Chains A and B, each alone.
Chain A
Amino acid sequence: MIPFARYLKLSALLASGLILCAHGAETPQHIDVKQLSKKVEDVVVPLPNEVFGALNKLGSINWKEYVRSDKGSNFTERPRIALLLGTVIADGFIAVQAEDAPAVKEIGQRVQTLARGIGVERSITQHAKAITEAADKRKWENVRQELDRTQNSVQQAMNEVHDEKLSQLVSLGGWLRGTEVLTAVVTKHFSTEGAELLHQPDLLVYFQTRLQAMPEFDLAIIRDIRGALVEVKPLIDVGRAHISSESVKKINDITTRLDNGIVTRE
Protein backbone atom coordinates (compact mmCIF):
# COMPACT_ATOMS: atom_id res chain seq x y z
CA MET A 1 0.00 0.00 0.00
CA ILE A 2 1.30 3.42 -0.92
CA PRO A 3 1.22 5.96 1.94
CA PHE A 4 -1.03 8.92 1.16
CA ALA A 5 1.80 11.53 1.12
CA ARG A 6 3.82 9.38 -1.29
CA TYR A 7 0.72 8.84 -3.41
CA LEU A 8 0.25 12.61 -3.58
CA LYS A 9 3.89 13.13 -4.57
CA LEU A 10 3.65 10.48 -7.28
CA SER A 11 0.45 12.00 -8.63
CA ALA A 12 2.04 15.43 -8.70
CA LEU A 13 5.09 14.04 -10.52
CA LEU A 14 2.89 12.24 -13.01
CA ALA A 15 0.78 15.34 -13.60
CA SER A 16 3.82 17.56 -14.12
CA GLY A 17 5.32 14.90 -16.39
CA LEU A 18 2.16 14.89 -18.49
CA ILE A 19 2.19 18.67 -18.70
CA LEU A 20 5.84 18.64 -19.77
CA CYS A 21 5.10 15.93 -22.36
CA ALA A 22 2.21 17.93 -23.76
CA HIS A 23 4.43 21.02 -23.86
CA GLY A 24 7.21 19.07 -25.57
CA ALA A 25 4.89 17.38 -28.06
CA GLU A 26 3.51 20.72 -29.25
CA THR A 27 6.91 22.34 -29.72
CA PRO A 28 8.44 21.64 -33.13
CA GLN A 29 12.00 20.37 -32.83
CA HIS A 30 12.95 22.14 -36.03
CA ILE A 31 11.76 25.23 -37.87
CA ASP A 32 12.45 26.50 -41.37
CA VAL A 33 14.58 29.57 -40.77
CA LYS A 34 14.29 30.71 -44.40
CA GLN A 35 10.53 30.88 -44.07
CA LEU A 36 10.85 32.97 -40.92
CA SER A 37 13.42 35.41 -42.22
CA LYS A 38 10.82 37.84 -43.56
CA LYS A 39 9.14 38.08 -40.17
CA VAL A 40 12.34 38.53 -38.19
CA GLU A 41 12.52 41.58 -35.94
CA ASP A 42 15.62 43.69 -35.45
CA VAL A 43 18.28 42.38 -33.13
CA VAL A 44 18.61 43.82 -29.64
CA VAL A 45 22.24 44.84 -29.30
CA PRO A 46 23.83 43.06 -26.33
CA LEU A 47 25.32 45.23 -23.64
CA PRO A 48 29.11 45.05 -23.20
CA ASN A 49 28.70 43.39 -19.80
CA GLU A 50 26.91 40.49 -21.46
CA VAL A 51 30.06 39.56 -23.35
CA PHE A 52 32.29 40.52 -20.39
CA GLY A 53 30.31 38.10 -18.21
CA ALA A 54 30.95 35.26 -20.65
CA LEU A 55 34.61 36.27 -20.86
CA ASN A 56 34.97 36.26 -17.07
CA LYS A 57 33.91 32.62 -16.97
CA LEU A 58 36.93 31.67 -19.09
CA GLY A 59 39.47 32.89 -16.54
CA SER A 60 40.31 35.77 -14.28
CA ILE A 61 40.87 39.11 -16.00
CA ASN A 62 42.59 42.18 -14.64
CA TRP A 63 39.82 44.60 -15.62
CA LYS A 64 41.69 47.52 -14.06
CA GLU A 65 44.00 47.47 -17.12
CA TYR A 66 41.07 48.41 -19.34
CA VAL A 67 39.47 51.13 -17.20
CA ARG A 68 39.35 54.53 -18.85
CA SER A 69 37.80 57.51 -17.17
CA ASP A 70 39.52 60.51 -18.79
CA LYS A 71 37.16 63.24 -19.89
CA GLY A 72 38.21 63.13 -23.55
CA SER A 73 37.21 65.62 -26.22
CA ASN A 74 34.01 67.62 -26.47
CA PHE A 75 32.09 67.59 -29.70
CA THR A 76 29.28 69.62 -31.14
CA GLU A 77 28.23 67.21 -33.90
CA ARG A 78 25.36 65.12 -32.54
CA PRO A 79 26.38 61.85 -34.29
CA ARG A 80 29.85 62.14 -32.73
CA ILE A 81 28.35 62.78 -29.29
CA ALA A 82 26.05 59.75 -29.72
CA LEU A 83 28.96 57.46 -30.65
CA LEU A 84 31.02 58.78 -27.74
CA LEU A 85 28.11 58.35 -25.35
CA GLY A 86 27.85 54.66 -26.26
CA THR A 87 31.59 54.28 -25.76
CA VAL A 88 31.51 56.01 -22.37
CA ILE A 89 28.62 53.83 -21.17
CA ALA A 90 30.68 50.78 -22.19
CA ASP A 91 33.57 52.25 -20.18
CA GLY A 92 31.16 52.35 -17.25
CA PHE A 93 30.60 48.59 -17.55
CA ILE A 94 34.37 48.06 -17.67
CA ALA A 95 34.84 50.17 -14.53
CA VAL A 96 32.16 48.06 -12.83
CA GLN A 97 34.02 44.87 -13.80
CA ALA A 98 37.13 46.43 -12.22
CA GLU A 99 35.05 47.57 -9.20
CA ASP A 100 36.60 51.02 -9.59
CA ALA A 101 34.23 53.40 -7.79
CA PRO A 102 35.98 56.73 -8.61
CA ALA A 103 36.07 55.81 -12.33
CA VAL A 104 32.39 54.79 -12.28
CA LYS A 105 31.46 58.13 -10.71
CA GLU A 106 33.47 60.13 -13.24
CA ILE A 107 31.90 58.16 -16.06
CA GLY A 108 28.44 58.86 -14.61
CA GLN A 109 29.15 62.60 -14.76
CA ARG A 110 30.59 62.33 -18.26
CA VAL A 111 27.46 60.51 -19.45
CA GLN A 112 25.36 63.34 -18.08
CA THR A 113 27.44 65.98 -19.88
CA LEU A 114 27.21 64.09 -23.17
CA ALA A 115 23.48 63.55 -22.77
CA ARG A 116 23.14 67.31 -22.27
CA GLY A 117 25.00 67.80 -25.57
CA ILE A 118 22.26 65.99 -27.46
CA GLY A 119 19.37 67.31 -25.43
CA VAL A 120 18.41 64.15 -23.54
CA GLU A 121 19.93 64.98 -20.15
CA ARG A 122 16.58 65.07 -18.35
CA SER A 123 15.95 61.43 -19.19
CA ILE A 124 19.03 60.27 -17.32
CA THR A 125 19.52 62.65 -14.40
CA GLN A 126 18.06 60.21 -11.88
CA HIS A 127 20.12 57.31 -13.27
CA ALA A 128 23.36 59.35 -13.10
CA LYS A 129 22.57 60.09 -9.44
CA ALA A 130 21.80 56.42 -8.78
CA ILE A 131 25.10 55.39 -10.43
CA THR A 132 27.06 57.67 -8.07
CA GLU A 133 25.16 56.46 -5.01
CA ALA A 134 25.55 52.79 -5.91
CA ALA A 135 29.26 53.24 -6.69
CA ASP A 136 29.77 54.90 -3.28
CA LYS A 137 28.13 51.88 -1.63
CA ARG A 138 30.03 49.52 -3.97
CA LYS A 139 26.74 47.93 -5.04
CA TRP A 140 28.01 46.81 -8.44
CA GLU A 141 24.85 45.01 -9.50
CA ASN A 142 22.92 48.24 -9.01
CA VAL A 143 25.51 50.22 -11.00
CA ARG A 144 25.21 47.72 -13.87
CA GLN A 145 21.43 48.03 -13.81
CA GLU A 146 21.59 51.83 -13.77
CA LEU A 147 24.03 51.87 -16.70
CA ASP A 148 21.60 49.71 -18.66
CA ARG A 149 18.74 52.05 -17.65
CA THR A 150 20.83 55.06 -18.65
CA GLN A 151 21.45 53.68 -22.13
CA ASN A 152 17.82 52.65 -22.49
CA SER A 153 16.48 56.03 -21.33
CA VAL A 154 18.83 57.95 -23.62
CA GLN A 155 17.79 55.81 -26.58
CA GLN A 156 14.10 56.04 -25.74
CA ALA A 157 14.36 59.83 -25.46
CA MET A 158 16.09 59.89 -28.85
CA ASN A 159 13.47 57.63 -30.42
CA GLU A 160 10.67 59.80 -29.06
CA VAL A 161 11.99 62.78 -31.00
CA HIS A 162 12.62 60.56 -34.05
CA ASP A 163 16.38 60.54 -33.58
CA GLU A 164 16.51 56.74 -34.05
CA LYS A 165 19.73 57.04 -36.02
CA LEU A 166 21.50 58.71 -33.11
CA SER A 167 20.12 55.99 -30.86
CA GLN A 168 21.68 53.37 -33.16
CA LEU A 169 25.01 55.21 -32.99
CA VAL A 170 24.91 54.95 -29.18
CA SER A 171 24.59 51.15 -29.53
CA LEU A 172 27.34 51.10 -32.15
CA GLY A 173 29.74 53.11 -29.96
CA GLY A 174 29.16 50.68 -27.09
CA TRP A 175 29.60 47.64 -29.31
CA LEU A 176 32.88 48.95 -30.76
CA ARG A 177 34.35 49.70 -27.33
CA GLY A 178 33.14 46.33 -26.01
CA THR A 179 34.69 44.56 -28.99
CA GLU A 180 37.95 46.47 -28.55
CA VAL A 181 38.25 45.30 -24.94
CA LEU A 182 37.10 41.75 -25.74
CA THR A 183 39.77 41.43 -28.44
CA ALA A 184 42.42 43.00 -26.18
CA VAL A 185 41.68 40.43 -23.46
CA VAL A 186 41.61 37.49 -25.90
CA THR A 187 44.78 38.67 -27.68
CA LYS A 188 46.57 38.68 -24.34
CA HIS A 189 45.41 35.20 -23.30
CA PHE A 190 44.28 33.51 -26.50
CA SER A 191 41.75 30.68 -26.36
CA THR A 192 39.35 29.43 -29.04
CA GLU A 193 36.48 29.83 -26.54
CA GLY A 194 37.41 33.46 -26.00
CA ALA A 195 37.72 34.08 -29.74
CA GLU A 196 34.34 32.41 -30.31
CA LEU A 197 32.70 35.29 -28.41
CA LEU A 198 33.47 37.40 -31.48
CA HIS A 199 31.18 35.26 -33.61
CA GLN A 200 28.57 38.00 -34.10
CA PRO A 201 28.01 38.19 -37.88
CA ASP A 202 24.33 39.21 -37.67
CA LEU A 203 25.12 42.08 -35.36
CA LEU A 204 27.75 43.28 -37.77
CA VAL A 205 25.29 43.15 -40.67
CA TYR A 206 22.77 44.98 -38.50
CA PHE A 207 25.23 47.85 -37.91
CA GLN A 208 26.28 47.90 -41.57
CA THR A 209 22.65 48.22 -42.67
CA ARG A 210 22.00 50.97 -40.16
CA LEU A 211 25.10 52.94 -41.24
CA GLN A 212 24.11 52.64 -44.90
CA ALA A 213 20.86 54.36 -44.01
CA MET A 214 22.70 57.40 -42.57
CA PRO A 215 24.04 59.21 -45.66
CA GLU A 216 23.31 62.54 -43.98
CA PHE A 217 25.98 61.85 -41.34
CA ASP A 218 28.86 62.65 -43.65
CA LEU A 219 31.63 62.54 -41.05
CA ALA A 220 35.09 61.03 -41.36
CA ILE A 221 34.56 58.78 -38.32
CA ILE A 222 31.32 57.36 -39.73
CA ARG A 223 33.05 56.68 -43.05
CA ASP A 224 35.91 54.99 -41.16
CA ILE A 225 33.51 52.75 -39.25
CA ARG A 226 31.66 51.81 -42.44
CA GLY A 227 34.95 50.77 -44.07
CA ALA A 228 36.20 48.99 -40.95
CA LEU A 229 33.06 46.83 -40.64
CA VAL A 230 33.69 45.58 -44.16
CA GLU A 231 37.19 44.57 -43.04
CA VAL A 232 35.96 42.89 -39.84
CA LYS A 233 33.12 40.87 -41.40
CA PRO A 234 35.16 38.06 -43.03
CA LEU A 235 37.23 37.74 -39.84
CA ILE A 236 34.23 36.89 -37.66
CA ASP A 237 31.82 35.36 -40.17
CA VAL A 238 33.62 32.01 -40.27
CA GLY A 239 30.68 29.62 -39.97
CA ARG A 240 31.67 26.56 -37.96
CA ALA A 241 35.42 27.29 -38.21
CA HIS A 242 37.42 28.81 -35.33
CA ILE A 243 38.37 32.48 -35.24
CA SER A 244 42.16 32.62 -35.32
CA SER A 245 44.46 34.56 -32.99
CA GLU A 246 45.60 36.62 -36.00
CA SER A 247 42.00 37.61 -36.71
CA VAL A 248 41.45 38.58 -33.07
CA LYS A 249 44.58 40.75 -33.16
CA LYS A 250 43.49 42.34 -36.43
CA ILE A 251 40.02 43.14 -35.06
CA ASN A 252 41.67 44.63 -31.99
CA ASP A 253 43.84 46.89 -34.17
CA ILE A 254 40.78 48.01 -36.15
CA THR A 255 38.53 48.66 -33.15
CA THR A 256 41.34 50.43 -31.24
CA ARG A 257 41.85 52.72 -34.23
CA LEU A 258 38.10 53.43 -34.43
CA ASP A 259 37.84 54.00 -30.69
CA ASN A 260 40.66 56.57 -30.88
CA GLY A 261 38.74 58.25 -33.67
CA ILE A 262 35.59 58.33 -31.55
CA VAL A 263 37.13 59.76 -28.39
CA THR A 264 39.58 62.26 -29.89
CA ARG A 265 39.05 65.29 -32.06
CA GLU A 266 40.32 64.89 -35.63
Chain B
Amino acid sequence: MRAFVKALLRGSFSIAILLALRLTVFASVDDAQSFALQAAEPYIKEGFQVREDYWGGDLGSGEKKAVRQQLFKGNEYWFWMGTEVERARISVHVYDSEGKLAEQPDGWEKGHFAAAHIIPKSTGSYFIIVNIEESPEERTHWALVYGFR
Protein backbone atom coordinates (compact mmCIF):
# COMPACT_ATOMS: atom_id res chain seq x y z
CA MET B 1 0.00 0.00 0.00
CA ARG B 2 2.82 2.39 1.00
CA ALA B 3 4.62 1.53 -2.24
CA PHE B 4 1.48 2.40 -4.18
CA VAL B 5 1.19 5.80 -2.44
CA LYS B 6 4.89 6.47 -3.11
CA ALA B 7 4.47 5.57 -6.79
CA LEU B 8 1.39 7.78 -7.00
CA LEU B 9 3.21 10.70 -5.41
CA ARG B 10 6.21 10.21 -7.67
CA GLY B 11 3.88 10.04 -10.67
CA SER B 12 2.03 13.21 -9.63
CA PHE B 13 5.35 14.97 -9.07
CA SER B 14 6.54 14.00 -12.56
CA ILE B 15 3.25 15.17 -14.08
CA ALA B 16 3.55 18.47 -12.20
CA ILE B 17 7.10 18.96 -13.54
CA LEU B 18 5.98 18.08 -17.06
CA LEU B 19 3.07 20.50 -16.78
CA ALA B 20 5.38 23.25 -15.53
CA LEU B 21 7.78 22.60 -18.40
CA ARG B 22 4.88 22.59 -20.84
CA LEU B 23 3.68 25.94 -19.47
CA THR B 24 7.19 27.37 -19.82
CA VAL B 25 7.45 26.12 -23.38
CA PHE B 26 4.04 27.48 -24.33
CA ALA B 27 4.41 30.80 -22.52
CA SER B 28 4.74 33.19 -25.40
CA VAL B 29 4.61 36.72 -26.67
CA ASP B 30 0.81 36.30 -26.72
CA ASP B 31 0.86 35.90 -22.92
CA ALA B 32 3.04 38.98 -22.65
CA GLN B 33 0.54 40.81 -24.86
CA SER B 34 -2.30 39.84 -22.51
CA PHE B 35 -0.43 41.52 -19.66
CA ALA B 36 0.31 44.61 -21.74
CA LEU B 37 -3.40 44.83 -22.59
CA GLN B 38 -4.24 44.36 -18.91
CA ALA B 39 -2.11 47.43 -18.15
CA ALA B 40 -3.96 49.36 -20.88
CA GLU B 41 -7.45 48.46 -19.67
CA PRO B 42 -8.06 51.36 -17.23
CA TYR B 43 -7.11 53.86 -19.93
CA ILE B 44 -9.82 52.70 -22.34
CA LYS B 45 -12.39 54.24 -19.98
CA GLU B 46 -10.47 57.51 -20.32
CA GLY B 47 -11.05 57.48 -24.08
CA PHE B 48 -7.84 55.88 -25.33
CA GLN B 49 -8.18 53.70 -28.43
CA VAL B 50 -5.86 50.75 -27.99
CA ARG B 51 -4.38 49.40 -31.23
CA GLU B 52 -4.75 45.74 -32.09
CA ASP B 53 -1.27 45.67 -33.60
CA TYR B 54 1.63 45.31 -31.19
CA TRP B 55 5.35 44.67 -30.93
CA GLY B 56 6.80 41.69 -29.11
CA GLY B 57 9.72 39.35 -28.72
CA ASP B 58 12.08 38.04 -26.09
CA LEU B 59 15.09 39.63 -24.44
CA GLY B 60 17.71 38.60 -21.92
CA SER B 61 17.94 40.20 -18.49
CA GLY B 62 19.39 43.71 -18.83
CA GLU B 63 18.74 43.78 -22.58
CA LYS B 64 17.01 46.67 -24.38
CA LYS B 65 15.24 47.04 -27.70
CA ALA B 66 14.13 50.10 -29.62
CA VAL B 67 10.96 50.27 -31.65
CA ARG B 68 10.18 53.18 -33.88
CA GLN B 69 6.78 54.76 -34.13
CA GLN B 70 5.20 57.59 -36.07
CA LEU B 71 3.38 59.91 -33.66
CA PHE B 72 1.14 62.84 -34.51
CA LYS B 73 1.13 66.19 -32.75
CA GLY B 74 -2.34 66.80 -31.33
CA ASN B 75 -2.77 63.20 -30.15
CA GLU B 76 -1.85 61.85 -26.75
CA TYR B 77 -0.27 58.40 -26.49
CA TRP B 78 0.34 55.76 -23.86
CA PHE B 79 2.62 52.78 -24.44
CA TRP B 80 2.04 49.77 -22.20
CA MET B 81 4.53 46.94 -21.81
CA GLY B 82 3.96 43.57 -20.18
CA THR B 83 5.57 40.22 -19.62
CA GLU B 84 4.22 36.96 -18.23
CA VAL B 85 7.35 36.56 -16.04
CA GLU B 86 5.94 37.84 -12.77
CA ARG B 87 9.27 38.29 -11.03
CA ALA B 88 10.72 40.31 -13.92
CA ARG B 89 11.19 44.08 -13.68
CA ILE B 90 10.65 45.93 -16.95
CA SER B 91 10.61 49.51 -18.21
CA VAL B 92 9.55 51.51 -21.25
CA HIS B 93 10.59 55.05 -22.23
CA VAL B 94 9.96 57.34 -25.21
CA TYR B 95 12.60 59.44 -26.98
CA ASP B 96 12.27 61.79 -29.92
CA SER B 97 14.11 61.30 -33.23
CA GLU B 98 17.16 63.10 -31.84
CA GLY B 99 17.34 60.83 -28.81
CA LYS B 100 15.95 63.27 -26.25
CA LEU B 101 13.64 61.90 -23.55
CA ALA B 102 10.20 63.05 -24.69
CA GLU B 103 7.77 61.42 -22.27
CA GLN B 104 5.52 62.89 -19.60
CA PRO B 105 6.63 62.35 -15.98
CA ASP B 106 3.65 60.14 -15.12
CA GLY B 107 5.01 56.96 -16.71
CA TRP B 108 5.20 54.03 -14.32
CA GLU B 109 6.84 50.66 -13.64
CA LYS B 110 5.18 48.02 -11.51
CA GLY B 111 7.06 44.73 -11.68
CA HIS B 112 6.08 42.99 -14.87
CA PHE B 113 4.07 45.96 -16.14
CA ALA B 114 5.38 49.34 -17.32
CA ALA B 115 3.94 52.34 -19.15
CA ALA B 116 5.10 55.56 -20.79
CA HIS B 117 2.99 58.58 -21.66
CA ILE B 118 3.71 61.12 -24.40
CA ILE B 119 2.01 64.21 -25.79
CA PRO B 120 4.19 64.79 -28.88
CA LYS B 121 5.45 68.31 -29.41
CA SER B 122 5.91 67.59 -33.10
CA THR B 123 4.76 65.07 -35.68
CA GLY B 124 7.40 62.53 -36.63
CA SER B 125 9.28 59.39 -35.62
CA TYR B 126 9.89 58.52 -32.00
CA PHE B 127 11.88 55.73 -30.36
CA ILE B 128 10.28 53.58 -27.73
CA ILE B 129 12.90 51.79 -25.67
CA VAL B 130 11.79 48.60 -23.96
CA ASN B 131 14.04 47.12 -21.30
CA ILE B 132 14.07 43.91 -19.30
CA GLU B 133 15.70 45.43 -16.23
CA GLU B 134 15.82 42.16 -14.28
CA SER B 135 14.44 38.69 -14.82
CA PRO B 136 14.90 35.25 -13.33
CA GLU B 137 14.46 33.75 -16.82
CA GLU B 138 17.20 33.47 -19.41
CA ARG B 139 14.90 34.97 -22.05
CA THR B 140 11.85 37.01 -21.16
CA HIS B 141 8.91 37.51 -23.50
CA TRP B 142 7.70 41.05 -23.77
CA ALA B 143 4.94 42.84 -25.63
CA LEU B 144 4.23 46.50 -26.20
CA VAL B 145 0.83 47.91 -27.11
CA TYR B 146 -0.18 51.51 -27.54
CA GLY B 147 -3.24 53.66 -27.41
CA PHE B 148 -4.09 57.20 -28.43
CA ARG B 149 -6.78 59.81 -28.03
| Contact digits for A111-144, partner B, Cβ 8 Å, 1 yes 0 no | 0000000000000000000000000000001001
A54 close to chain B: CB less than 8 A: yes
A76 close to chain B: CB less than 8 A: no
Smallest CB–CB gap between B61 and chain A, Å? 16
Q: Write out the residue numbers on chain A whose beta carbons fall within 8 Å of the beta carbon of B49.
A: 49, 141, 144-145, 148
Q: Is B52 a contact partner of A152 (Cβ separation < 8 A)?
A: yes
B14 close to chain A: CB less than 8 A: no
**Complex formed: what's the CA distance from A32 to B64 in Å?**
13
Contact of A44 (CB < 8 Å), options: B51, B64, B100: B51
Q: Is A193 a contact partner of B55 (Cβ separation < 8 A)?
A: no
Helix, strand, loop or mixed for chain A's interface?
helix
Task: Determine, out of B19-27, B34-42, B72-80, the stretch whose residues face the partner at the interface.
Answer: B72-80
B12 close to chain A: CB less than 8 A: no
**Complex formed: what's the CA distance from A49 to B70 in Å?**
13
Contact of A193 (CB < 8 Å), options: B53, B57, B74, B149: B74
Contact of A151 (CB < 8 Å), options: B52, B98, B146, B148: B52
Q: Is B72 a contact partner of A41 (Cβ separation < 8 A)?
A: no
**Complex formed: what's the CA distance from A46 to B127 in Å?**
15
Q: Is B68 a contact partner of A40 (Cβ separation < 8 A)?
A: yes
Task: Determine, out of A65-73, A197-205, A208-216, A248-256, the stretch whose residues face the partner at the interface.
Answer: A197-205
Size category of the B interface is 35 or more
A165 close to chain B: CB less than 8 A: no
Q: Is B68 a contact partner of A50 (Cβ separation < 8 A)?
A: no
Q: Is A53 a contact partner of B75 (Cβ separation < 8 A)?
A: yes
Q: Is B73 a contact partner of A148 (Cβ separation < 8 A)?
A: no
B139 close to chain A: CB less than 8 A: no
Q: Which residues of chain A from 13 to 27 have a CB within 8 Å of any chain B CB? A: 20, 23-24, 27
Q: Is A196 a contact partner of B66 (Cβ separation < 8 A)?
A: no
Size category of the A interface is 35 or more
Q: Which of A20, A36, A141 has the most CB of B within 10 A?
A: A36
Contact of A57 (CB < 8 Å), options: B66, B74, B101, B123: B74
| Contact digits for A129-173, partner B, Cβ 8 Å, 1 yes 0 no | 000000000000100110011011001000000000000000000
**Complex formed: what's the CA distance from A155 to B65 in Å?**
24
- The residue in chain A whose Cβ has the minimal distance to the Cβ of B125 is A202
Other A-B pairs beyond A31-B101, A55-B74, A152-B53, 6, CB < 8 Å:
A29-B101, A30-B99, A44-B53, A151-B52, A196-B122, A197-B73
